[in-house]
């Protein structure tokens, strides 16, 4: 089993995008158009930068955390990012 990551990207329009992956570096390259893949949302808001990530032992816990983060207000997400 591989580790899963929840991540937050800051897009060129200063919006925030949250997702899950097993490989944050590859996923960032996909979102930026360097590799095939990436979300339609980020395709329209490039370039994006990885501003936060958190490791989880399995996909289930990562998806639950992602869901919780997506429910946060923008200010709460910014607080999460700056807690590093």
Q: Which domains does the chain have, with CATH numbers?
A: 4-82 (3.40.1440.10)
C-alpha triplet 22, 35, 58: angle, nearest 5°:
10
User: What's the whole-number mean pLDDT along residues 50-63?
Assistant: 98
In the predicted model, is pLDDT for residue 1 greater than 70?
Answer: no
Residue 80, exposed/middle/buried by CB under 10 A (0-12, 13-18, 19+)? middle
pLDDT of the residue at 84: 60
Size of the chain in residues: 84
- Separation CA 13–CA 35 (nearest Å): 21
Distances from the Cα of 3 to the Cα of 36, 54, 78, angstroms: 22, 10, 24
In the predicted model, is pLDDT for residue 36 greater than 70?
Answer: yes
């Amino acid at each position: 089993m591989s580790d899963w990551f929840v991540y937050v990207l800051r897009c060129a329009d200063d919006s925030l995008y949250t997702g899950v992956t097993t490989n944050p570096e590859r996923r960032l390259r996909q979102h930026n158009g360097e590799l095939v893949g990436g979300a339609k949302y980020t395709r329209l808001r490039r370039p994006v930068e990885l501003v936060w990530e958190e490791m989880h032992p399995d996909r289930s816990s990562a998806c639950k955390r992602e869901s919780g983060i997506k429910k946060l207000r923008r200010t709460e997400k910014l607080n999460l990012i700056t807690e590093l």
